[in-house]
């Protein structure tokens, strides 16, 4: 089977959130930090110690970085780089059953954190520069990737043209990353059905799907709550990506399905499953510091799940149609609508809650 090989930074992840967080910690501007952050990165990606890297960054900024500072900066750096945004999670889902792998220039701490992230289970194999002592665009790292991936039949996406050219010289098919829709087109997916364009409105509602294994039909407990995000608008997508990634992993294991709707700072979430499990999960959510004003809108036993087998979508204000981003793998994209009447009815109610 052909392997889809993806870079992390510039493809699945953006540097924006990490640079903003690090700049705030260091008390400098983001643009100033960016000029100091990347020049010593190759050595770091090859295995230089954390303290050596941050000392080099500090020198470029005219700041003394202590060992304690280096540990804190490393923690911020690793945490932010390991958070997949919503768009990347949707893209990975849209790849369906395709075999995927990662080839990334990354320091050892980031590599270790990514390997433990819930979304990493989507990948059959990962190669990180610091772990193998090789970096892109060097030819040796592509040969090592062949060995780890167990195949030479790869299609590679990277944001840096030099890395793409090196992959082509190695014999891989390779493309400069131009976004998820373009990548799906390259891979022969029906991008029009599997990846919807965002609605042309400012107040966007996003619905994030959590998939669970089908269970016997019958009553389930449903709880709906609303809250208000406490994260900045700049970091909201990164936070939503983190929330979604954790929800998919944790909720599926608990047998809980549901949907998360976000409109500006307002949030509404639906949780469906066994009552004790749902209530325990809600108690954890209630104490999450990323939002406040948590209020239960409705709770009780209903005839059955509404969202258990539903796929992700972007849902906008009235007057703009729901746009399917992807469908449940194996469901047949052209054979079924993106939502059911039951889902539409409940979504209409949730929209009203968000706008009230």
The pLDDT-based confidence of 35 (bands split at 50, 70, 90) is very high
> With bands split at pLDDT 50, 70 and 90, how would you rate the model's confidence at 106?
very high
At residue 23 the predicted structure's pLDDT band, cuts being 50, 70 and 90, is: very high
Residue 238 has pLDDT above 50, yes or no: yes
Angle, helices 67-81/50-61, rounded to nearest 10 degrees: 100
332 burial via Cβ count (<10 Å: 0-12, 13-18, 19+): exposed
- The model's confidence at residue 289, banded by pLDDT at 50, 70 and 90, is confident
pLDDT score recorded for residue 67? 94
Helix axes 50-61, 30-37, angle to 10 degrees: 130
Mean pLDDT of 331-353: 63
Q: With CA atoms as reference, report the closest residue to 253 among 226, 279, 291, 281.
A: 281
pLDDT of residue 343: 75
pLDDT at 92 over 60: yes
Task: Select 204-355's CATH number: 2.60.120.10, 3.30.1540.10, 3.30.70.100, 3.40.50.2000.
Answer: 3.30.70.100
Q: How far apart are alpha carbons 29 and 50 in whole angstroms?
A: 22
pLDDT at 174 over 80: yes
- Mean pLDDT for 207-236 is 68
Averaged pLDDT of the chain: 79
Say if residue 137 is preceded by a cis peptide, omega within 30 of 0: yes
Going from the C-alpha of 116 to that of each of 18, 110, 113, 321, the distances in angstroms are 19, 10, 5, 37
Q: Over 60: is that where the pLDDT of 82 sits? A: yes
Domain ranges of the chain: 1-195, 204-355
Residue 274: pLDDT above 60? yes
In the predicted structure, residue 62 carries a pLDDT above the cut 60: yes
Contact 17, 80 (CB under 8 A): yes
Please check whether residue 306 is in contact with residue 343, taking contact to mean a CB–CB distance below 8 angstroms: yes
Q: Which CATH number fits domain 1-195: 3.40.50.300, 3.40.50.970, 3.30.750.24, 3.40.50.1000?
A: 3.40.50.1000
pLDDT in tens, 36-53: 999 999 999 999 999 999
pLDDT of residue 119: 82
CA angle centred on 352, ends 350 and 353, rounded to 5° = 65
Q: Which of the two residues, 294 and 307, has the higher pLDDT score? A: 294
Greater model confidence, 67 or 258: 67
């Amino acid at each position: 089977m052909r392997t889809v090989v993806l870079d992390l930074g510039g493809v699945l992840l953006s540097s924006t959130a990490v640079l903003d967080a690090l700049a705030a910690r260091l008390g400098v501007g983001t643009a100033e930090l960016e000029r100091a952050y990347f020049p010593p990165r190759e050595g770091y990606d090859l295995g230089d110690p954390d303290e050596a890297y941050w000392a080099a960054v500090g020198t470029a900024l005219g700041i003394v970085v202590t060992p304690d500072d280096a540990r804190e900066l490393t923690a911020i750096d690793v945490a932010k780089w390991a958070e997949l945004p919503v768009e990347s999670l949707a893209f990975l889902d849209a790849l369906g059953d395709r075999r995927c792998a990662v080839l990334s220039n990354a320091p050892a701490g980031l590599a270790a954190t990514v390997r433990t992230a819930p979304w990493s289970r989507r990948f059959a194999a990962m190669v990180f520069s610091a772990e193998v002592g090789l970096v892109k665009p060097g030819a040796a790292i592509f040969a090592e990737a062949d060995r780890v991936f167990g195949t030479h039949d790869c299609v590679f996406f990277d944001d840096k043209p030099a890395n793409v050219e090196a992959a082509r010289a190695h014999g891989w098919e390779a493309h400069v990353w131009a976004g998820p829709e373009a990548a799906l087109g390259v891979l022969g997916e029906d991008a029009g059905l599997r990846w919807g364009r965002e609605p042309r409105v400012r107040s966007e509602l996003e619905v994030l799907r959590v998939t669970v294994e089908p269970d016997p039909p019958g009553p389930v407990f449903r709880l709906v709550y609303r809250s208000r995000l406490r994260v900045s608008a700049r970091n909201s997508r990164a936070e939503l990506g983190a929330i979604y990634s954790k929800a998919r992993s944790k909720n599926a294991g608990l047998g809980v399905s549901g949907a998360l709707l976000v409109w500006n700072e307002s949030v509404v979430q639906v949780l469906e499953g066994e009552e004790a499990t749902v209530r325990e999960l809600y108690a954890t959510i209630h104490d999450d510091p990323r939002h406040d004003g948590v209020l239960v809108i409705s709770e009780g036993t209903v005839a059955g799940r509404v969202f258990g087998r539903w796929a992700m979508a972007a849902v906008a204000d009235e007057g703009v149609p729901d746009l399917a981003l992807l469908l449940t793998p194996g469901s047949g994209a052209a054979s079924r609508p993106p939502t059911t009447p039951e889902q539409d009815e409940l979504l209409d109610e949730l929209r009203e809650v968000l706008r009230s």
